[in-house]
Amino acid sequence: MIGGTGAYTYDIGNGPQNSGIFTNVTQGSYTVVVDDGTCSSSITVSIACPSAMYQEQLLQQTLLAMD
């Protein structure tokens, strides 16, 4: 998110967290919501690979692309 202020929270549907790193993510589609307390932005990502490490890397790359 460009131009956001303050601390960001990240959510994929199980409640906001302070870190943009998600663990134990299974296959499926997720809407990633990034919020700075004033504005929010979201993107939908699909996880098709069962590798946990790959899933975490994909979500991290997606979040970086949102910046």
Q: What is the pLDDT along the chain (67 residues), one digit of tens a residue?
A: 555 566 889 999 999 999 888 888 888 999 999 998 888 999 998 887 666 666 677 777 777 766 6
Q: Is 13 part of any domain?
A: yes
Is residue 54 a part of any domain in this protein? yes
- pLDDT, residue 35, reads 92
- Domain of 41 in residue numbering reads as 9-59
Element (H, E) at 31: strand 28-35
Alpha carbon distance 60, 2 (integer Å): 16
- Quickly count: other Cβ atoms within 10 Å of residue 55's Cβ: 21
Residues 6+ apart with CB under 8 A from 41: 1, 33, 34, 66
Global confidence as pTM: 0.67
pLDDT of residue 60: 74
Task: Examine residue 2 and state whether it is found in any structural domain, yes or no.
Answer: no
**48 inside domain:** yes
Please indicate, yes or no, if residue 1 is contained in any of the structural domains: no
Q: Which of 24, 25, 17 is closest to 47 using CA atoms?
A: 25
Residue 67 domain-assigned? Answer: no
What is the tally of structural domains in the chain? 1
Judge whether 65 lies within some domain: no
